[in-house]
């Protein structure tokens, strides 16, 4: 049995059964140099594809199965999803998709499951061309199945956006065009990094928003690891780079990153502020702080101090009043589905209020520490109202000593039109070709 399908199944089971993060699992798995580049590509395509298109795969399975989905064991269902994905979405001969998936079921499942898997997949091959799909006339059901979003999220998006925009967002959530890299100017420049990527067999485009960024990057894994290990760059979406520019750290200033790990925004703040800018990175997760320290060391940044602590009680860890604080708060992450599709199947509507309480607690804990006249930037990689504008409204109602500050002067020219007059900006995947990121800038009066 080809190793790629077996690995993809093992990853899918870990993601679906134990809440593991797919990107981290793939990063760990891809360290095996015995895997060919072709196998690596297939593992990633299968593992991500099943998460991105899960509802669509389940729709197909239910149409061609003798049992309802609710009566199919989870382990069998995941094997079927992998097989159906190959049949419906990949350019693999149908007989190969069926045979290899049946072999996988013999290896991984209980005796007797292989015959059921074989029957469903053979029915799929015979009937998928004539399958009746949900009609766009029933838009919620259409988006739920065709673009594989949970129904609660479809309903939420349709309440928030018009029908055309809602469909465009669901489409964008399933389209990942490559990573973005932020250059470390202390070690290289954008042209040199671009040349290394292209000469190494990769591709990249220059960002239209930030001078320090390359976008739509695809390159051999070994080259990427070499570039990261040398400290020439970090992987960071343009939406996250925007956050650092809105903070606008100045030479000689003291800046706190209140939820710092794993360090992408922290290191960006340190570079933007220059060597005389002091950045204090705080996080309560010691393991993630270890990752931050490794990033800082690779980049050669000497102006970052790392503190383990809970920023909801920031005053317990600081004896000074910083000039700026970044609160990049834990959130639903629904703006990152292009890169983290498994989050679709983990989040619930109830999570939004719970997360908003955590976000407000962090803002409250940081608000007491900031010096008068200082800047506090709030960011979350999502677009839900509960975690964005409603959090801002609740915070400002409690803290009359804070006001929203115009973000426009800190935005790239192409993004200025997206900023409202209320002191924040909401980036969206279908509008800006970035992750969905909310960024608000506040001043303490």
Would you state the pLDDT for residue 420?
73
The domain in which residue 146 lies consists of 139-173
Mark whether 312 and 430 lie in a shared domain.
Answer: yes
Q: What is the CATH number of the domain that holds 189?
A: 3.30.70.1170
Mark whether 229 and 315 lie in a shared domain.
Answer: no
Mean pLDDT split into 10-residue runs, the chain, 445 residues? 87 95 87 79 95 98 97 97 97 95 95 95 97 97 98 98 98 95 97 97 96 96 94 97 98 98 96 98 93 95 96 94 98 97 97 98 97 98 98 98 96 89 92 97 97
Give the tens place of pLDDT for each residue, 376-401: 999 999 999 999 999 999 999 999 99
Give the tens place of pLDDT for each residue, 78-109: 999 999 999 999 999 999 999 999 999 999 99
Mark whether 250 and 323 lie in a shared domain.
Answer: yes
**277: closest CA among 322, 333, 219?**
322
Q: What is the CATH number of the domain that holds 111?
A: 1.10.940.10
Count of domains forming the chain: 4
Mark whether 292 and 395 lie in a shared domain.
Answer: yes
Mark whether 270 and 321 lie in a shared domain.
Answer: yes
Q: What is the CA radius of gyration of the chain?
A: 23
Mark whether 301 and 427 lie in a shared domain.
Answer: yes
Q: CB 30: neighbour CB atoms within 10 A?
A: 16
- CB within 8 Å of 38: residues ≥ 6 apart: 4
Tell me the whole-structure pTM to 2 decimals: 0.95
Would you state the pLDDT for residue 33?
64
Mark whether 384 and 249 lie in a shared domain.
Answer: yes
Mark whether 225 and 242 lie in a shared domain.
Answer: no
Rounded to 5 degrees, φ, ψ at 437 are -135, 130
What is the Cα–Cα distance from 215 to 181, expressed in whole angstroms? 6
Mark whether 327 and 435 lie in a shared domain.
Answer: yes
Mark whether 145 and 119 lie in a shared domain.
Answer: no
Mark whether 80 and 200 lie in a shared domain.
Answer: no
Q: Are 324 and 376 in contact (CB under 8 A)?
A: yes
Mark whether 246 and 302 lie in a shared domain.
Answer: yes
Give the count of alpha carbons within 13 A of 436, CB side only. 23
Whether 170 is a known active-site residue: answer: no
Q: Are 244 and 222 in contact (CB under 8 A)?
A: no
- CB within 8 Å of 340: residues ≥ 6 apart: 21, 22, 23, 333
Q: What is the CATH number of the domain that holds 418?
A: 3.40.50.150
Would you state the pLDDT for residue 221?
87
**Which member of 233, 259, 331, 381 is catalytic?**
381
């Amino acid at each position: 049995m080809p190793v790629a399908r077996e690995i993809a199944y093992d990853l899918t089971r870990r993601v679906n059964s134990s809440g593991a993060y797919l990107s981290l699992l793939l990063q760990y798995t891809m360290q095996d140099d015995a895997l060919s580049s072709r196998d690596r590509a297939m593992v990633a395509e299968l593992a991500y594809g099943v998460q991105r298109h899960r509802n669509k795969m389940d729709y197909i399975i239910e149409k061609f199965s003798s049992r309802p989905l609710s009566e199919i064991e989870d382990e069998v269902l995941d094997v079927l999803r992998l097989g159906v994905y190959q049949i419906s979405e990949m350019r693999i001969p149908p007989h190969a998709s069926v045979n290899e998936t049946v072999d996988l079921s013999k290896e991984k499942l209980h005796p007797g499951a292989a015959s059921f898997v074989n029957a469903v997949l053979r029915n799929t091959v015979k009937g998928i061309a004539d399958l009746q799909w949900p009609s766009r006339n029933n838009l919620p059901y259409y988006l739920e199945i065709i673009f594989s979003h949970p129904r609660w999220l479809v309903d939420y998006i349709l309440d928030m956006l018009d029908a055309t925009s809602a469909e465009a967002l669901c489409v964008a959530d399933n389209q990942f065009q490559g990573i973005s890299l932020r250059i470390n100017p202390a070690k290289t420049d954008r042209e040199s990094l671009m040349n290394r990527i292209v000469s190494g067999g990769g591709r990249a485009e220059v960002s239209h928003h930030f001078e320090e960024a390359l976008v739509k990057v695809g390159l051999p894994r070994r080259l990427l690891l070499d570039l990261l290990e040398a400290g020439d760059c970090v992987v960071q979406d343009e939406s996250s780079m925007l956050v650092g520019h809105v903070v606008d750290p100045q030479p000689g200033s003291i800046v706190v990153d209140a939820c710092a790990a794993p360090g992408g925004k922290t290191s960006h703040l340190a570079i933007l502020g220059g060597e005389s800018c002091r950045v204090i990175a705080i996080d309560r997760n010691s393991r993630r702080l270890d990752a931050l320290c490794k990033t800082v060391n690779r980049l050669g940044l000497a102006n970052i101090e790392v503190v383990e602590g809970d920023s909801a009680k920031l005053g317990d860890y600081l004896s000074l009043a910083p000039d700026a604080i970044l609160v990049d708060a834990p959130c639903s992450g629904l703006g990152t589905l292009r890169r983290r599709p498994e989050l679709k199947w983990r989040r619930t509507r109830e999570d939004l209020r719970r997360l908003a309480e955590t976000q407000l607690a962090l803002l409250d804990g940081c608000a007491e520490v900031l010096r008068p006249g200082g800047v506090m930037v709030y960011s979350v990689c999502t677009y839900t109202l509960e975690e964005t504008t409603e959090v801002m409204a609740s915070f400002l109602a409690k803290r009359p000593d804070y006001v929203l500050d115009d973000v426009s002067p800190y935005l790239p020219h192409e993004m200025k039109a997206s900023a409202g007059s209320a002191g924040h900006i909401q980036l969206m995947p279908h509008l800006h070709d970035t992750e969905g990121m909310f960024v608000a800038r506040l001043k303490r009066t």
